[in-house]
Amino acid sequence: MEVQDGAELCFPQLLNTSCRKPTLDRFDAVLRNIVMLSISVPTVVLNLLVIISVSHFRQLHTPTNILLLSLAVSDFLVGFVLLPGEIYRNTQCWLLGDFICSLYFFVVYIFFSTSVADMVLISIDRYVAICHPLHYPTRVTVTKAKLCVFLCWFCSVFYSSVVFRDVLSQPGITNSCDGECVVVFNYIADVVDLVVNVIFPVTVIILLYMRIFVVAVSQAHAMRSHTAAVTHQHSVTLSTRKSELKAARTLGVLVFVFLICFCPYYFVSLSQPSLYAVSLVSLMFYLNSCLNPLIYALFYPWFRKAVKHIVTLQILQPGSCEVSML
């Protein structure tokens, strides 16, 4: 490897194989790291608030919130692990060794595959709640939701282990020089990943929400037609249905934002994109983890109320977990 005069090496003792130290003279490189840092901090803080809220307050232990908790955990780890890791890779030589590099990508891959699976589970939850409301209390319980979340993380770890088998067994195999941390898969692995993590889950999500939209419009029309002629018992039922429809709309926004941020990353990565296009879709990808708790804050009164209790340290009071949040 030829080294230009004045170039600084990551490992000066390895003159022929060492990478050169990254330089951040370009404005766009510095700006990208600043943007990533500005995404990382609120992502960690906001998702931590979601985790504390759902975990602490007993009234929030619902099947839907258990799924949102799982999503918040993966989003929190994106802000806590992935974004600082990417800033480090862009500004410094990778000095942590090839195995840690492979392990880093392996763990990050688990976060993303889990997020995709969580979105599918959330769509299924809303589908059952809206399209089969009478069966929802028995088909979807907190215990079943916890089991689904466990299986979601377990399957993500197993699938990631299969994908990264060669990378973990031969760390640094795709690095072009010492001090670099990259992982490159072959064409077959990319196609399989596209099907498993993009085409199949996105298709399921879209089909479920198309069905939810049709049923929700029909139910909303029926409720408007019968509101004036219902008994008290029916009023309670209608109130419950309105609550379910509102939840479906809120989670529909969550899923829609996810698809907008998620799909371009994979479509661009499969082509031969420019460096600018890769940076843009990557930032959109990372931004989604920060947007999710903002959506909760915008649409869920219980989240705003829970955050108030957390920030004012009222959760430290005895019996605070029993406080009504709904």
User: How confident is the model over 105-133, as pLDDT tens digits?
Assistant: 999 999 989 999 999 999 999 899 888 88
Please work out, in degrees rounded to the nearest 5, the angle formed at the alpha carbon of residue 173 by the alpha carbons of 154 and 4: 135
Q: Are 287 and 39 in contact (CB under 8 A)?
A: yes
323: helix, strand or coil: coil
Provide mean pLDDT across the span 20-36: 76
What does the DSSP assignment read for 209-243? HHHHHHHHHHHHHHHHHHGGG--HHHHHHHHHHHH
Domains along the sequence of the chain with CATH: 27-321 (1.20.1070.10)
pLDDT in tens, 156-193: 999 999 989 888 888 878 788 888 888 888 778 878 88
DSSP, res 97? -
Provide mean pLDDT across the span 295-311: 89
Indicate whether 138 pLDDT > 60: yes
> Tokens for 59?
């009234």
DSSP, res 196? I
Provide mean pLDDT across the span 295-309: 89
Q: Are 277 and 265 in contact (CB under 8 A)?
A: no
Find the range with the poorest average confidence among 40-54, 149-163, 227-241: 227-241
Q: What's the pTM value of the predicted model, to 2 decimals? A: 0.86
